[in-house]
Structure 1
Amino acid sequence: MTAPRLLHPGAWWLWAVGLAACALRTTNPVLLCLIIAVAGWVVASRRADVPWSRSFASFLRLGMIVIAVRIIFQIFFGVRIPGTTLFTIPEVTLPDWAAGVSLGGPVTLESLMAAFYQGLRLAAVLACFGAATSLCSPYRMLRALPTVLYEAGVAVTVAFTFAPQAIVASRQVREARRLRGRSDRGVRAWSASALPVLEGALDRAVALAASMDSRGYGRRGSSSVSVRRRSVGLVLLGLVAIAVGSYGLLDPSAPALFRIPALGVGAAALIGALVAGGKSTVRTRYRPDPWIGPEWMVSIAGIVAFASFVLVGRMGDALSPSTNPLEVPAVPVVAVIGLLVAALPAWFAPHPPTLASSSAPLVVAA
């Protein structure tokens, strides 16, 4: 049995991105609910006992808010899809220049189901990224980045850190209000907590910047200006090409040039940036995170799930059930098998160490 340890953060993020890509390729509510269930099961099985590991529930609540907002927008402003009319709200006649936009009118079951499917898809994506933030610390992800990716890595780390830190600060503020005998529920309580939560998030951002500066992040070493410019240019080219290639893989209607070729160009540019920028690195690592068998298995589980959805998309329309006319969503077996593979990290990923069983810190600060 594998000894308790923290899995490499890159493995968890690759797994979560694979699940999120699956969610973006489908509006099938059965598959979307399975994606959320898989993410929740893995989080419940392999999260560490630290405050930021509880952020998954907050992402689920945010997803429910997204679904509700999407349905409300459909009721008042959405495109009127013909079908079974549930109720009618007063309609406002708009000028000719606002053609295609409706305000009020009949609300059909088909339009509400279409809005629900779209909102559920975004909620599933939020659940996947909530799982990643619950399973690994973004500080450890930043520590694992190559030197040439520091600038992009710092920005991404600060962005990814905001959500879990804001959730932790919100919980602390609510507990403080309860200890003072004040209510922690309702609009008034949330409005009174907004400023302390924002202040706490800003304080943590300043502390993160000071910690990174004291540890020498951003040091250039003896590299010349031309080498740095070449490395930055290759990084930008690689990130843009990978973004375009990822969009091409997620959108079946995208041209073939925006898929594998774009990903290949992006990967080649990033490899060139790593080679050019890595020669002048002056950084050493203390206790680097290993990348061994469990990391490979977790990463491959997410990739297999995404590959199964790509295969199902080429076999038929099971990933996008019709809402006009409304039909019962089909359940493609291949996609379900892929999601079952994505749930395997709940068993073969190593258990995280506990404070009682390990002297190593669970959170490695930047």
Structure 2
Amino acid sequence: MTDRPGSRDALRKRRAAATSHGTPHPGAWWLWSLGLATAATRTTNPLLLALLITVTAYVVATHRTAAPWSRSYAAFARLALAVLLVRLLFAVVLGSPVPGTHTLLTLPELPLPHWAQGIRLGGDVTAEALLFAFYDGLRLATLLICVGAANALANPARLLKSLPGALYETGVAVVVALTFAPNLIADAQRLRAARRLRGRPDRGLRGLLQVGLPVLEGALERSVALAAAMDARGYGRTASVPAALRRTTTVLTLGGLLGVCAGTYGLLTAEGGAYGLPLLLAGVAAALVGLRLGGRRTLRTRYRPDPWGPSAWLVTASGAAVAGLLTLAAARDPSALAPGVIPLTAPTLPLWPAAAILLGLVPALIPTGKEPS
């Protein structure tokens, strides 16, 4: 006996097929990348940070698709490189609080008024100061690259389908903003290739103007079409709920988000380790209850909900394991994860923290499949 097309068994089989042949849930990719970013905040060891960057690059290379948002990893990598160079430039021009004895060069120092005490322009540039700035800038660059990996791997349309009802309007705005730049770049590349095939210039000010105007016109047409489609689907309609429920939802959501921020800050600082975790858990619980209540105002249904399958759990567990083990390593052996610059010593690669970072490669072992529509 075959299953009827609308029966529950047939729907369950379609969901299982989507889970087994599709890529992991986009939310799992974000949790994986945030886990790696959390691990990056626990160390300034350049060898471990370089290993984290290598892990993200390999996973992106094995799982990204040909969609426009998949090209964002290279853009985030260039942004990370720019941040690192700017951090080094600030250390050269503005100096560093780290004292040093190995002077590399001496710049002309500009005298500053008495109210600018503690700030200097120019002066001695030491190897210790540059190395400290390099460690600090590389950590920030690694954070940006981890976020870029999530942007390159997570399908924003699928992520929008999985958002709670209370965040649907905000999610639409975020998805439109995230997909605008990649589509703009794709249109510009397509128009430049067409102009080259016709033998017309595509560089310089003239080429920029002749390519930029059609690109902006196409972006405006897509915006108008999107607005019409959203209006036709009843975007923005809300259900009437009691005023007390609205106030309770607002208090729980805002209070929960504030608790999450305060708890995260407590976990990232040495002084807030006692209250950080309880406050974070309480904030997450309050925010989830607030989002659940806020979803009653949204009148919408989900067509073929995106399932959270075993591959999503594996990806999430991989990022969480890297974050947890690096946090434990930072507490037990802080000198290995934060090498000093005074005196100048070469950083060493701690073995078991490096092995913990390699757990981030687990998503690369998941077979790739077709994105479910």
TM-score (norm 1): 0.85
Query: Structure 1 residues 31 and 233, CA, compared in 2 at 3 Å: closer, same or farther?
Result: same
For residue 158 of structure 2, what is the aligned residue in structure 1?
140
Using the TM superposition, give the Cα deviation of residue 182 of structure 1 relative to its aligned residue in structure 2, in angstroms: 3.5
For residue 125 of structure 1, what is the aligned residue in structure 2?
143
1:152-301 → structure 2 map (5 Å cutoff)? 152-161=170-179, 164-165=182-183, 167-168=185-186, 171-172=189-190, 175=193, 178=196, 181-182=200-201, 184=203, 211-254=229-272, 256-257=274-275, 259-279=276-296, 281-301=298-318
Which residue identity is paired with 2:254?
L
Q: 1:43 aligns with which of 57, 60, 68?
A: 60
Higher-helix-fraction structure: 2
Of 128-137 and 281-290, the range deviating more from structure 2: 281-290
Of 14-23 and 50-59, the range deviating more from structure 2: 50-59
Is 2:31 aligned against 1:9? Answer: no
Which residue identity is paired with 1:236?
L
Is 2:84 aligned against 1:67? Answer: yes
Of 130-139 and 326-335, the range deviating more from structure 2: 326-335
Q: Deviations over 1:61-100 (max 9, x none)?
A: 1111111111111111132632211111111111121111
Q: 1:320 aligns with which of 321, 332, 338?
A: 338
**Do the aligned residues in 2 keep the contact of 1:308 with 1:334 (CA within 8 Å)?**
no
For structure 1, the residue ranges without an aligned partner over 5 or more in a row are 355-359, 362-366
Query: Structure 1 residues 108 and 60, CA, compared in 2 at 3 Å: closer, same or farther?
Result: same
Q: Deviations over 1:26-73 (max 9, x none)?
A: 211111111111111001001112122121111111111111111111
Is 2:349 aligned against 1:331? Answer: yes
Q: 2:323 aligns with which of 306, 320, 336?
A: 306
Using the TM superposition, give the Cα deviation of residue 197 of structure 1 relative to its aligned residue in structure 2, in angstroms: 7.0
Of 310-319 and 162-171, the range deviating more from structure 2: 162-171
**Do the aligned residues in 1 keep the contact of 2:73 with 2:145 (CA within 8 Å)?**
yes
**Do the aligned residues in 2 keep the contact of 1:47 with 1:352 (CA within 8 Å)?**
no
For residue 29 of structure 1, what is the aligned residue in structure 2?
46
Using the TM superposition, give the Cα deviation of residue 278 of structure 1 relative to its aligned residue in structure 2, in angstroms: 3.9
Aligned-partner SS, 1:37: helix
Distance 1:207 1:3 in 2: 34
Is 2:70 aligned against 1:53? Answer: yes
**Do the aligned residues in 2 keep the contact of 1:52 with 1:168 (CA within 8 Å)?**
no
Which residue identity is paired with 2:65?
A
Using the TM superposition, give the Cα deviation of residue 198 of structure 1 relative to its aligned residue in structure 2, in angstroms: 7.3
For residue 83 of structure 1, what is the aligned residue in structure 2?
101
Question: How many residue pairs end up in the alignment?
Answer: 353
Distance 2:76 2:38 in 1: 17
For residue 352 of structure 1, what is the aligned residue in structure 2?
369
Distance 2:350 2:219 in 1: 43
Distance 1:347 1:294 in 2: 10
Distance 2:61 2:286 in 1: 38
Of 212-221 and 329-338, the range deviating more from structure 2: 212-221
Using the TM superposition, give the Cα deviation of residue 289 of structure 1 relative to its aligned residue in structure 2, in angstroms: 0.8
Q: Deviations over 1:239-281 (max 9, x none)?
A: 2211222222223343522x11221221221232134234455
For residue 364 of structure 1, what is the aligned residue in structure 2?
none
Which residue identity is paired with 1:305?
V
Aligned-partner SS, 1:104: strand
Distance 1:121 1:204 in 2: 38
Distance 1:197 1:233 in 2: 43
Aligned-partner SS, 2:121: coil
Query: Structure 1 residues 310 and 227, CA, compared in 2 at 3 Å: closer, same or farther?
Result: same
**Do the aligned residues in 1 keep the contact of 2:164 with 2:292 (CA within 8 Å)?**
no
Is 2:35 aligned against 1:18? Answer: yes
Aligned-partner SS, 1:82: coil
Using the TM superposition, give the Cα deviation of residue 119 of structure 1 relative to its aligned residue in structure 2, in angstroms: 1.5
Of 210-219 and 261-270, the range deviating more from structure 2: 210-219
Distance 2:212 2:46 in 1: 34
Which residue identity is paired with 1:72?
L
Of 272-281 and 123-132, the range deviating more from structure 2: 272-281
Q: Name the % identity.
A: 47
For structure 2, the residue ranges without an aligned partner over 5 or more in a row are 1-16
For residue 113 of structure 1, what is the aligned residue in structure 2?
131
Of 1-10 and 169-178, the range deviating more from structure 2: 169-178
Q: Deviations over 1:309-364 (max 9, x none)?
A: 1101111222211122222223222321221111110112x41317xxxxx54xxx
Aligned-partner SS, 1:321: coil
Larger Rg: 2
**Do the aligned residues in 2 keep the contact of 1:3 with 1:351 (CA within 8 Å)?**
no
Which residue identity is paired with 2:76?
F
